[in-house]
Amino acid sequence: MTPKESLKRLVKGNERFVSGQALHLLQDENRIQELAGGQSPFAIVLSCSDSRVVPEIAFDTGLGELFIIRVAGNVANTSSIASIEYAVAHLGTTLIVVLAHQSCGAVTAAVAGGDNGENLNHLLSHIAPAIKASKDNSVDAVSIVNAKLTAEDLINKSAIISKAVEENKVEIRSAFYQLADGKVVFFD
Ligand SMILES: [Zn+2]
């Protein structure tokens, strides 16, 4: 599947989800057996851990369709980048989506500042560049900038991802999930 076809599939799936027309395909025992020998997910999603933002459900996808990395604030750290590299290099996945969302707790904490302890401070330090770059310091505005900067980070911090993008094998898009209606807005 090309990056464009992959994106179209996500957009269509999200439209079904939002309109209550989800098909819930590829979630049965046949699919489980079919995948026992291997996987070829059509998209990679770097998403927040927020329990309200569930990529498989939001894009109406089944087993083996999405390769998902979830970390609070959907940040590009060494582990999340390495996970994406695996899917790009070994599974041939052609689309990477960095999925931010409305009212993100991680971004809220980053904007508020202060000491949140060693581990959370480290995670939130990945959001600091977005706070600096955003003209508007509302949580949602920073989240959108964070998704866009994270998409750039994936290229700047990974030789595997940047090479795949250069060779037009992979495209990266940032996106924003609206909590009120479940709609995912994609950015260029
Ligand atoms: Zn979040």
- Structure confidence by residue, pLDDT tens digits, 160-171: 999 999 999 999
- Structure confidence by residue, pLDDT tens digits, 7-31: 999 999 999 999 999 999 999 999 9
Taking the whole predicted model, whether its pTM rises above 0.85 is answered as yes
Distance (Å) from CA 29 to ligand 1 centroid: 32
* Per-residue burial over 52-80, b = 16 or more CB atoms within 10 Å of its CB, e = otherwise: ebebbebbbbbbbbbbbbbbbbbbbbeeb
Rounded percentage of the chain residues whose pLDDT exceeds 70: 100
DSSP letter at 130? H
Instruction: Tell how far CA 155 is from the center of its chain.
Output: 15
Per-chain residues with Cβ under 5 A from ion ligand 1: 48, 50, 104, 106
Give all domains of the chain, ordered by start, each with its CATH number: 3-186 (3.40.1050.10)
**Average pLDDT of the segment spanning 74-95:** 98
